[in-house]
Structures are given as C-alpha cells and as structure tokens.
Amino acid sequence: MKNVRSAASAKGEGPTKGQVARLILELGPSTAATLGSRLGLTPAAIRRHLDNLLAEGLIETKTARAYGNRGRGRPAKVFVITDAGRSAFEHAYDDLATGALRFLAETAGPEAVAEFARRQLADLEDRYAPVVVQGELGARVQALAEALSGDGYAASAGPAPSIGSTAGEQLCQHHCPVAHVAAEFPQLCEAETEAFGRLLGAPVQRLATIAHGDGICTTHVTHVTAAGKTAAAKTVIKHGVSTEITPGPGGLLI
C-alpha cells in the first residue's frame, strides 16, 4: 500500500474513497484519525471520503466500545463497513469465479461445472450431517436452517403451505453468497438442492431462488411415509418451469 500511495502522490493523485472503504474492511471499526494516518490524508480529505461513503450507504458509524475509565469528553466514533459495502467487494470475487466456471464449461462441458458444484457441496454435507440427522423432519429442517445461518445464509424454517394435498416444511435462505455466479450457472443451485434432499432424507422442491430474481431462496420439504417414497411422479416448479420428478434414493426428488 505504501508503494501505491507513493505512485499516486507522484501523479498528483490521492487515495480514492474505494481505498478508504477497503481499509475499513481490512481494519474493522476505525476512527477517522486512524484512517487518515494510514492513508496519508489530511483530516479534511479523509472526512470528505467518509462523508461520501456514508451517503452511499457503504459504511456507517458506531460508538467505540470503552474499556476501563474513559474520562471526560464525547465517546469516540468509529466507521464500519455495511453489508452493502461488503457486497461491493464480493462482486470482484464473483467475477473471478464466473470467469473460471465459464472457462471450465467451455473446455470440459456443462457436466464438469455440475460435478464441480457437487464436490463443493460435499464438504457442506459432511459438516451438516451430524446436526441434521436426528429427530422428526421439522426438527431436521430447523437444524439445517441454523447450520446454514452459521455459514451466512440467514436461513429460517417452519411449516410450509401445502402443495396440493402434500404437507411439508419450508426452508428459506434470505442471503446467498454465490447468487451472482449462480445466476449464470444454475448447477450451483441444483447441487445445493440435491444436497438438502440427501441430508433430510425427504423429497425437496426448490420453488424460488435469489439467483433468478426472487427475494428469497425457498425450498419445500415434503412429509412422506415409507410408501410415499415410491409414489408416482410429482411436479416441481423449477426456475418457473413445471418439471416432472420422482423420488430417488432416500426420498430425494430427481
């Protein structure tokens, strides 16, 4: 970063507000004085960048936590990155991942992308299986939601509206870290749905995804009896298209 600042100074330029935001992301809660010192900016210059970032919703202010006797004076104000600010940096990684998957699809075919997605989900299955395997279906879906939330998916679960005469549970994911990539490569969503079916041992139906413009990723999990697992084909809405699918091993709809 020192070399970058030196080069910018030589051209008569200073750090951009993007560099200020990245420094806050790297350092965590930071005061204006700390940021200005690290970037070699005057108080007026750092304030200008911070005001612009605040106006755009990329950062926010919080009161610094005090330890021991703080003494007189106003509490220190620190700047922290917001979810919107964090997402702005994540897009750069999305572009890299999308480019890599495009290359894989072009050189090895779409099935190679699907196999990659399944391998990525294998670790998730291994980690989640011990907490999802116990209890009735509702409890297992709730355990899966809690595990997903721990990984940043902001998931929730509860009884689902019946699809026809079929009762079940509903799993909702309010955040998807790979949504921008999955918009071009639905194999990521499909592999995740397959993994949910194996973990829960029940038929699952993906009804909506953030990657395809919906506000929430919604998955219906069907309550089934032993006989129900060999029932006739069922219909699921997948990305807005009705598709015939049948229960596979462990009740997974395939």
pLDDT digits (tens, 9 = 90+) for 57-69: 999 998 875 544 5
Residue ranges covered by each domain of the chain: 2-81, 87-251
Residues pairing with 155 in the sheet? 173
Show the 3-state SS of 145-186: HHHHHHCCCCEEEEEEEEECCEEEEEEEECCCCCHHHHCCCC
Average pLDDT of span 78-99? 80
Whole-Å CA distances, 163 to 83, 84, 111, 158, 223: 35, 35, 31, 15, 11
Q: What is the spatial distance between Cα 41 and Cα 81, in angstroms, rounded to a whole number?
A: 19
For position 9, what pLDDT does the model report? Answer: 35
CA 211, CA 61: separation in Å to the nearest integer? 31
At 143-157, the pLDDT tens digits run 999 999 888 788 999
Fold adopted by 2-81: Arc Repressor Mutant, subunit A (1.10.10)
Judge whether residue 249 has pLDDT over 70.
no
Alpha-carbon separation of residue 136 from 56, 139, 141, 192, 253 (angstroms) = 46, 5, 9, 21, 19
pLDDT at 90: 63
Q: What architecture (CATH level 2) is domain 87-251?
A: 2-Layer Sandwich (3.30)
What pLDDT sits at residue 217?
A: 93
pLDDT exceeds cutoff 90 at 252: no
| CA–CA distance, 77 with 61 (Å, rounded to integer) | 6
pLDDT tens per residue, range 102-127: 999 999 999 999 999 999 999 899 99
Strands 155-163 and 234-238: unpaired
Check if 2-81 and 87-251 are the same fold.
no
